[in-house]
Structure 1
């Protein structure tokens, strides 16, 4: 029997086994939960949720409430959840029951190794214990001035793209924001540069990281089958199976994904070896560590996240110390987790500001006022206000900037969906009862072991019961007092919601004491509990630094030009796991990520005061 026949027989056996289990197992309690009818015998409703499903996701929650039955692959029943109490149970109270799915863990392990997003249980907790102090506010304060040259370089590159006498000029922001955020995560987290903002330089690793997400998303419907093939076939056999795939498109995409992973693995080994050698005192800076701002090693002086982590690990007890394999797994994990979503968030914010020029002018005025006040306080009379670098506490405390970023991350979360699976039978309580399939109201749902649960970050952030009737509206003012001050959220007023924090009176996302368990401003964008995004404070700092730097010198507007056939350019954000900006046909292909905006130098009329 050939390899292709063997694999085909195995796959058919898997399908038949699942169908047999479905027909012979006891009645699933999820059958009593209301939800849409199954649309496809194989894909169920899965494709509607994960492929360009913005409207569909919001309609699910609007029609059925905070807990919805959906049909997954091969007819498996899954629960789609956005109810606040249910999500508190899932990510905080019973997170040991609601673990990441096998396809998520094993898929990430194939790509990133033994990193934070590829581990479970005690191993994950040990890694998180090591990494959490690394992202402390003290480290963020030290890091901010060191990475300011990256934002300055982004500004200079964009200004350099505007030809003399041509003002404004259309610029696609996606490639440059992507390059800039990649430099941020590489320099700040690894103390390493790939010169991504150098237009005349190309880097194999930088290109691989940028192509990872679109390549992986193009084969997202294959992810549920990853556990079966990982557990039943060796790496050699899996590689052979790819060669026998009858669908050319999938075979090509899997080849590309394999190439990307190999590049990332090779370079991450090199970076890790250099960082470890430098920590031990017998390593020298390489050509990769020389940036346009001088020697990066001298500028960072061990303040990068990886150096801090290596020192902390070396001084830890044996029981808490991570292995080299685990430390190595953090390299690609940190880069990927902090790069793609930040790119999307910055592009979305600039797009919204281009849509709303008055809001853009108000924000720019706040930035100018803050820079002038700081310059005066520091006696920097010979420095132009545009060139003033704000320190951490001033930057993070700008009320309108904070409101804009919070509202953008709430309404348009870069990642809209996450999945969990139940490790044993459990009851899931609901804050807001939902109607069952029979019409009765239910306030808790029985979930058998191995039930997949989809966490809808998007629906949670748009829940009108929690955020108000205007939850779908992008309105930064909801985060401000009538006098324009920032509404305090969290014990320290910094937006970080910690377990046990008292609800802030009048704070968004808090209706009569009902709120979501999100770690950031009570929203679910960065999740909550033991698997919340560990680097969200760095991401927030990075985005604010980029925005204040760019807006100080540039004005952004929606594209006014047309393509060569006279078609106007309409930007649309597709929801394919991540929010992806594309140009709708006929001006665009509807697939290639791009945000073309008209960019010009700032004028006097671009301020409100």
Structure 2
């Protein structure tokens, strides 16, 4: 625990506790009939069993889902009631039908605004829709076709460096390589900017380092408490300069670590935006000589913004905010998803061999660099990506808050604390709810009795009728991995293309095997790999995924 003066917590914590006592003594709580586990702590409820950045978090929440069903109640900070659901009908209402009622939590929006700027993750309602309207065209299939050669160029650099490294090292920690590659992909194709040569021993860019460590740094216990209690109250106090002076003054190491990361993100975002504007202003050779030939997302976005009507045009600070926002959304999630696929391929050698055969046959017919249509048409590669994103969603839990009283209908009725069967639940205004892509994607009622097994072949046959009938509101392939509705992941096609290009290049050349170290998966908001004996730094287990890499026959 950092050396933080406890007096700073007294006012918000005292106010919260007084409100909780009043609610308990005088308020009628409709959620009292919802079953759930007992609290683990008066201060943190059940939260530290869900978000401690350990490998036990998934087992804990899996056990709750098995015990209590598709909707249950857990305890948040100071034992506030918090719902958890993966019920498909409830999710339809939360992310689609009644999405105007279910908003991102205030602390999430505030934190993202402070950290990334006024990008997609920091806006709500009409403001959010306005930003997506400008951004949507740059994530279209047509634009992904144009980006495919850039993806291959970067993927080949990764593959060539791993080939050289393999001459001296048989066991390679693949995670930093995948993270560096993901950063360079969003750098070149997203911003016309190169962060990394992907050469052996190349220095890590400060921007990538900050992005990679940001989520885990936020898991500091005191930061979590202050995020939910103090930040919503004080975030508008005084000027930015005053707020910065307060942050600098506080003797709080964890806060200063996050501050320094945010500084790097902001300064890099401003640099990228200014270079983009300058290149477009100069035009001609200056624009075409940008990394990616001026077809990057930021170049297209700035041009589209210039041509947009006055009411649709975004101010510069919102364009700057998209840089860190898109990088954060694209880098860690995709690199960790790729790490998970390599881990699974190392565990299932028969699947790896079959995939390699499919890729080599495609290369024999079309050449090493497949076009967008040829790559996305590979059925087994597609099935492996879909199945991994189904079973192992990189972001397993998301939160929404009811902005008014709401009725939440259920596809699978739950049993109340007094023994009744509930087909719907009354949710009071202000109630927070966890929605779980992790459990919706694994629900046996939807996916069948083998729902918790990794079976790429399931995507090569007709999907079960129960899945079609469930009408899961995900934007991608009946899955909640990329969410759905107006706040679905805008870059899911980008992520799919990245995964398929990198896998096709690596699996074609390398045989991937498990090493001696046992790989575990940590819940750091984003699910990340580590090993049982990985060192612990600043209270956090270091992320890594060491795999044995050799040239494939």
TM norm structure 2: 0.93
> Quick one: which of 315, 318, 331 aligns to 1:326?
318
Q: Does 1:414 align with 2:362?
A: no
Q: Distance in 1 between matches of 2:437 and 2:530?
A: 22
Q: 1:24: how far off?
A: 4.7
Q: 1:49: how far off?
A: 2.0
Contact 2:192 2:290 in 1 (8 A): no
Residue equivalent to 1:344: 336
Change over 3 Å in CA distance of 1:35–1:364 after alignment to 2: same
SS of equivalent residue, structure 2 residue 346: helix
Q: Distance in 2 between matches of 1:244 and 1:517?
A: 46
Flag structure 2 segments of 5+ consecutive residues without an equivalent.
Answer: none
Q: Distance in 1 between matches of 2:215 and 2:322?
A: 17
Residue equivalent to 2:165: 161
User: Greater CA deviation, 25-34 or 388-397?
Assistant: 25-34
Matches within 5 A, 1:209-228: 209-218=211-220, 219-225=223-229, 226-228=231-233
Residue equivalent to 2:552: 602
Residue equivalent to 1:121: 125
Aligned residues: 540
Q: Does 1:252 align with 2:253?
A: yes
Q: Distance in 2 between matches of 1:283 and 1:592?
A: 46
Contact 1:141 1:392 in 2 (8 A): yes
Q: Distance in 2 between matches of 1:526 and 1:443?
A: 27
Contact 1:467 1:509 in 2 (8 A): no
SS of equivalent residue, structure 1 residue 363: helix
Q: Does 1:264 align with 2:265?
A: yes
Larger helix fraction of residues: 2
Q: 1:205: how far off?
A: 2.2
Q: Distance in 2 between matches of 1:269 and 1:284?
A: 22
Q: Distance in 1 between matches of 2:452 and 2:51?
A: 20
Q: Distance in 1 between matches of 2:5 and 2:519?
A: 43
Q: 1:263: how far off?
A: 1.2
Change over 3 Å in CA distance of 1:15–1:263 after alignment to 2: same
Q: Distance in 2 between matches of 1:56 and 1:189?
A: 38
Q: Distance in 2 between matches of 1:102 and 1:227?
A: 7
Residue equivalent to 1:35: 36
Q: Distance in 2 between matches of 1:424 and 1:453?
A: 13
1:108-150 CA distances to partner (integer Å, 9 max, x unpaired)? 0010110001000110010011111211100001110123110
User: What is the CA RMSD across the aligned residues, in angstroms?
Assistant: 2.2
Matches within 5 A, 1:172-191: 172-191=173-192
Q: Distance in 1 between matches of 2:352 and 2:485?
A: 34
Q: 1:551: how far off?
A: 1.0
Flag structure 1 segments of 5+ consecutive residues without an equivalent.
Answer: 290-295, 376-387, 482-505, 561-568, 604-609
Residue equivalent to 2:494: 538
Q: 1:208: how far off?
A: 2.1
Q: 1:11: how far off?
A: 3.3
Q: 1:408: how far off?
A: 0.4
SS of equivalent residue, structure 2 residue 289: helix
Change over 3 Å in CA distance of 1:348–1:70 after alignment to 2: same
Change over 3 Å in CA distance of 1:516–1:358 after alignment to 2: same
SS of equivalent residue, structure 1 residue 511: helix
Residue equivalent to 2:148: 144
1:457-484 CA distances to partner (integer Å, 9 max, x unpaired)? 1111110000111110001010003xxx
> Quick one: which of 288, 293, 307 aligns to 1:315?
307
> Quick one: which of 450, 460, 470 aligns to 1:480?
460
Residue equivalent to 1:207: 209
Residue equivalent to 2:543: 593
Residue equivalent to 1:522: 478
Q: Distance in 1 between matches of 2:465 and 2:186?
A: 30
Q: 1:179: how far off?
A: 0.4
Q: Distance in 2 between matches of 1:56 and 1:19?
A: 26
User: Greater CA deviation, 416-425 or 205-214?
Assistant: 205-214
Residue equivalent to 2:523: 575
Change over 3 Å in CA distance of 1:181–1:103 after alignment to 2: same
SS of equivalent residue, structure 2 residue 422: strand
1:266-304 CA distances to partner (integer Å, 9 max, x unpaired)? 11111101101212226986xxx9xxxxxx835622211
Q: Distance in 2 between matches of 1:327 and 1:449?
A: 33
Change over 3 Å in CA distance of 1:450–1:12 after alignment to 2: closer
